[in-house]
């Protein structure tokens, strides 16, 4: 009898231990974190908490939550476990083809819902929750800043409800497509939401498949809008970049005119030597002979006028497309635009043509140097107006200084910007000449540059060589080069030296 009681007791004890083990195992499985469970199980755990109460319906249990606005929370950062097998799901719309992720903003005042939806979407490779807002107002601000493709919008929220927010979003962030997510799935609410501009309506509770399918469907609808905005943005970014490039390119360009109201002063000498020096330092320079009737550039540069500005002139103006074809190369690297071969042809070159030519050359060359005629007519004025800088040449002789004074008086009267005019006193050291400081006083000019008299110049001109090129150590060449460097520093700061003299 005692033995029987003992055996029954042991059996009962074993049974109790077995029941306890099974209970503990089940319990430990239930309390394991979602991320440690198989994906399908985690997806079920991520069902959003239903919270809104439809009129006349019993309110589903809803967790207590703070009513004040909360800071937006980042998407669930938990590491993504690879599923053992892909979850079976109903046929879904395909993921975006472009490889872009669907950017999603969650707007819900319930932190559990935000968290659950965020967690649920975390498993979708083509989706990304880029932000969470706690009410409609914050949702609008975040939508404008983050430009999500999709906004998952709750209806009942403090401060601003989802329908009002949807209405405002259609104006403030038309790019973003709104999906209303709520338990209030009555037709009345659906109608209001759709009238406010929502694209779709996802009643709670919903499965992961239903939500993902809804998001992909709405993304597909919004795709033309996304592409349009992206194209507009890309175009405006490109336009801004081009504008900045053009502005900086324009900053690093120089058109300088060399002028004197008196003939035989040394204008052509200075223009040709300066152009060679600028070409040597900065490269990509062109020398224009705007002394249209009796220009001497061809003589100074020892070239024949096989092609000249006359070749681009026709009845109605100039054919600027031909301009590159009429530029002559010089052995210094300079390009030359020569004046017409006969004085009679000069009349056909109008001031407007000269302006157009100047504009066109400015676009193609870093440096444009223009030799001008001493006559202050419309053609010369067209060149002076287009120039960034005018080198005004005079010599220490009374007649030259008299003309210079007349010019400066006129310039002041016309309120010309005198900072654009640089005084150059040529043959400054000529014996018997008026002292430079006296010239400056007469002309009321603070600064001047000086080019010395150089007896080698005459020989160079007669041989058809440029002194700056032929004899860079001559006094004249050094002073011209110093002048070129000074002007270059002022206008071509970004450019680099391409050749050494
Ligand atoms: N610094 C100088 N040293 C020596 N000779 C010079 C100097 N500057 C100019 N000359 C001489 O003056 C002459 C006239 O120069 P240039 O042809 O450059 O003057 P211009 O002002 O262009 O005259 P035009 O009104 O005929 O166009 C040159 O042939 C040259 O011999
Ligand atoms: Mg000349």
Q: For residues 259 and 375, give the distance between their C-alpha atoms in angstroms, rounded to a whole number.
A: 9
Q: Residue 171 contacts by C-beta under 8 Å, 6 or more apart in sequence?
A: none
pLDDT (average), residues 140-154: 95
Whether 183 is in a domain gets the answer: yes
- Reply yes or no on whether the pLDDT at 49 is more than 50: no
Residue 155 has pLDDT above 60, yes or no: yes
Residue 26 lies in a domain: no
pLDDT of 316 reads: 74
Q: Are residues 221 and 271 in the same domain?
A: no
Query: 426 CA to middle of ligand 1, Å?
Result: 9
231 shares its domain with 256: no
As a whole number, mean pLDDT of residues 361-366 equals 93
pLDDT at 298 over 90: yes
Q: Are residues 136 and 217 in the same domain?
A: yes
Show which of 176, 209, 235 is a domain's final residue: 235
Whether 216 and 286 share a structural domain: no
- Segment 89-140, tens digit of pLDDT: 334 445 555 457 999 999 999 999 999 999 999 889 999 999 999 999 999 9
Distance 267 CA to ligand 2 centre (A): 5
Look at 186-195, 328-337, 416-425 and tell me which has the smallest mean pLDDT. 186-195
Same domain, 297 and 440: yes
pLDDT at residue 357 is higher than 90: yes
Q: Does a structural domain hold residue 428?
A: yes
What are the start-end ranges of the H helices in 444-492?
456-463, 467-470, 475-491
Task: Tell me which H or E stretch contains 447.
Answer: none
Question: Measured in angstroms, how far is the CA atom of residue 288 from the centroid of ligand 1?
Answer: 17
Once rounded to an integer, what is the mean pLDDT over residues 9-37? 44
Instruction: Quick: pLDDT tens for 231-278.
Output: 888 888 888 888 777 666 666 789 999 999 999 999 999 999 999 999
Mean pLDDT on 390-407: 97
Mean of per-residue pLDDT scores for the chain? 82
User: Which two tokens mark 136?
Assistant: 């409609």
Question: So what's the pLDDT on residue 273?
Answer: 98
Would 285 be classed as within a structural domain? yes
Residues 217 and 334 in one domain: no
Q: Does residue 6 form part of some domain?
A: no
Q: What is the arithmetic mean of pLDDT over 298-314? A: 94
Q: Are residues 365 and 432 in the same domain?
A: yes
Tell me which residue range forms the domain holding 214: 39-52+66-79+92-235
Domain presence at residue 455: yes
Q: Are residues 203 and 258 in the same domain?
A: no
Domain boundary among 202, 235, 268: 235
Residues 290 and 212 in one domain: no
Contact partners, residue 461, CB within 8 Å, separation at least 6? 269, 299, 300
Whole-angstrom distance, CA of residue 349 vs CA of residue 423: 28
Mutational test site, ligand 1, from 451, 452, 457, 483, max ligand atoms within 8 Å of CB: 457
Residue 250: per-residue pLDDT: 61
pLDDT of residue 276: 97
Q: Give the model's pLDDT for residue 177.
A: 96
Give yes or no for residue 353 having a pLDDT over 80: yes
Distance 465 CA to ligand 2 centre (A): 16
Whether 227 and 281 share a structural domain: no
Do 206 and 71 share a structural domain?
Answer: yes
CA dihedral 319, 324, 328, 333 (to 10 degrees): 150
Same domain? For 396 and 319 the reply is yes
Domain end marker among 204, 235, 266: 235
Mean pLDDT of 208-217: 94
pLDDT reported for residue 2 = 55
At residue 22 the predicted structure's pLDDT band, cuts being 50, 70 and 90, is very low
**Confidence check: pLDDT of 444 > 90:** yes
**Residue 7 maps to a domain:** no
Pocket residues for ligand 1 (CB within 6 Å)?
260, 263-269, 291, 296, 374, 426-427, 451, 453-454, 457-458, 461, 476
Which of the listed ranges 50-59, 65-74, 187-196, 359-368 does the model predict with the highest average pLDDT? 359-368
Ligand 1, atom 12, lies closest to the CA of 266
Identify the bridge partners of residue 202 per DSSP, sorted by sequence position: 181
When comparing pLDDT for 32 and 320, which is higher?
Answer: 320
CATH number, domain of 175, equals 3.40.50.2300
Residues 6+ apart with CB under 8 A from 492: 252, 253, 254, 282, 366, 367
pLDDT over 80 (residue 35): no
Tell me how many domains the chain contains.
2
Q: Per the domain annotation, does 267 fall within a domain?
A: yes
The enclosing domain of 328 has a CATH number of 3.40.50.300
């Amino acid at each position: 009898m005692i033995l029987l009681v003992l055996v029954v007791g042991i059996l009962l004890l074993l049974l109790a231990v077995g029941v306890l083990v099974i209970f503990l195992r089940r319990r430990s499985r239930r309390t394991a974190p979602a991320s440690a469970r198989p994906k399908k199980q985690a997806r079920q755990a991520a069902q959003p908490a239903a919270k809104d109460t439809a009129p006349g319906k019993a309110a589903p249990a809803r967790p207590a939550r703070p009513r004040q606005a909360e800071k937006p929370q980042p998407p669930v950062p938990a590491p993504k476990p690879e599923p053992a097998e892909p979850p079976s799901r109903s046929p879904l719309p395909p993921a975006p083809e472009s490889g872009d992720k669907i950017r999603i903003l969650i707007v819900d005042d319930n932190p559990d819902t935000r968290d659950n939806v965020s967690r649920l979407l975390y498993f979708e490779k083509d989706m990304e929750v880029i932000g969470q807002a706690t009410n409609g107002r914050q949702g609008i601000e975040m939508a404008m800043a983050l430009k999500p493709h999709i906004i998952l919008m709750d209806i009942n929220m403090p401060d601003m409800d989802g329908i009002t927010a949807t209405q405002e979003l259609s104006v403030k962030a038309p790019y973003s497509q709104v999906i209303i997510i709520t338990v209030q799935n009555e037709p009345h609410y659906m109608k209001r939401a759709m009238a406010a501009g929502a694209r779709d309506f996802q009643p709670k509770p919903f499965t992961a498949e239903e939500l993902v399918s809804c998001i992909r469907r709405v993304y597909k609808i919004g795709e033309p809008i996304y592409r349009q905005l992206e194209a507009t943005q890309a175009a405006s970014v490109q336009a801004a970049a081009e504008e900045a490039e053009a502005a900086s390119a324009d900053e690093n360009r120089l058109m300088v005119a060399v002028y004197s109201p008196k003939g035989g002063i040394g204008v052509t000498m200075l223009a040709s030597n300066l152009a060679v020096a600028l070409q040597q330092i900065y490269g990509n320079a062109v020398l224009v002979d705007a002394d249209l009737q009796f220009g001497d550039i061809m003589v100074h540069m020892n070239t024949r006028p096989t092609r000249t500005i006359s070749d681009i002139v026709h009845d109605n103006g100039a054919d600027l497309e031909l301009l590159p074809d009429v530029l002559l190369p010089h052995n210094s690297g300079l390009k030359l635009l020569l004046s017409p071969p006969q004085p009679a042809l000069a009349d056909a070159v109008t001031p407007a043509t000269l302006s157009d030519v100047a504009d066109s050359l400015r676009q193609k060359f870093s440096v444009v140097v223009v030799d001008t005629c001493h006559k202050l007519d419309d053609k010369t004025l067209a060149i002076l107006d287009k120039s960034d800088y005018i080198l005004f040449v005079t010599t220490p002789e009374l007649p030259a200084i008299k003309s210079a004074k007349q010019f400066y008086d006129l310039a002041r009267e016309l309120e010309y910007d005198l900072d654009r005019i640089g005084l150059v006193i040529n043959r400054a050291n000529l014996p018997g000449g008026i002292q430079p400081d006296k010239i400056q006083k007469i002309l009321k000019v603070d600064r001047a540059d000086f080019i010395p008299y150089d007896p080698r110049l005459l020989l160079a001109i007669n041989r058809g060589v440029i002194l700056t090129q032929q004899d860079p150590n001559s006094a004249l060449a050094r002073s011209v080069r110093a002048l070129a460097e000074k002007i270059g520093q002022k206008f071509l700061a970004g450019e680099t030296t391409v050749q050494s003299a």
